[in-house]
Structure 1
Amino acid sequence: MKILITGGNNAKALKLMKAFPSHFVLLADYGDVPGIITEKYAFSTLGVLNKDSIAHILLNFCITEAIDCIIPLQRYEVEPLAKSAVLFGEYGIQVLLPDADVVTGYLSDEKQQFQYFAVYIHGDCIFSSEENFAPKKLSASFNGVFGYDNANDLKLFTI
Structure 2
Amino acid sequence: MYTLITAANSAEAYNLKNKLGGDHILLGDYQELPDVLLQSGKMIKIPDPKSVSYTHQMLALCLDKDVNTIYALREQEKQLLVNAEQLFNEYGIKVKASDDKI
Partner of 2:6 in structure 1? 6
In the TM superposition, what is the alpha-carbon distance from 1:24 to its structure 2 partner? Answer: 1.3
**Deviation of 1:32 (Å):** 3.2
Q: Which residue of 2 aligns with 1:79?
A: 79
Amino acid at match of 2:58: L
Q: Deviations over 1:100-141 (max 9, x none)?
A: xxxxxxxxxxxxxxxxx8651xxxxx4xxxxxxxxxxxxxxx
Calculate the TM-score normalised by the size of structure 2.
Answer: 0.80
**How many residues were matched structurally?**
98
Rg (Cα) greater in structure: 1
Instruction: From the two aligned structures, give the one with the greater helix fraction.
Output: 2
Unaligned runs of 5+ in 1: 98-116, 121-125, 127-159
Query: What letter matches 1:5 in structure 2?
Result: I
Give the percent of matched residue pairs that are identical in Structure 1 and Structure 2.
Answer: 31
TM-score, length-scaled by structure 1: 0.54
Counterpart amino acid of residue 64 in structure 1 = D
The amino acid across from 1:57 in the alignment is Q
Structure 2: gaps (5+ residues): none
Report the CA distance between 1:54 and its aligned residue.
2.3
2 CA distance for matches of 1:23 and 1:118?
22
- Matching residue of 2:30: 30
1:88 match: 88
Higher relative contact order (CA 8 A, sep 6+): 2
User: SS state of the match for residue 78, structure 2?
Assistant: helix
Local SS of the residue matching 1:76: helix
CA distance in 2, matches of 1:22, 1:29: 20
Write the deviation string for residues 21-56 of structure 1: whole angstroms up to 9, x where unpaired: 135110000143234347xxx211115x25133212
Shift of 1:70: 0.3
User: Structure 1 residues 119 and 81 mapped into 2: Cα distance closer, same or farther (>3 Å)?
Assistant: closer
Does the CA contact (< 8 Å) of 2:49 and 2:77 recur in 1? no
What's 2:19 paired with? 19
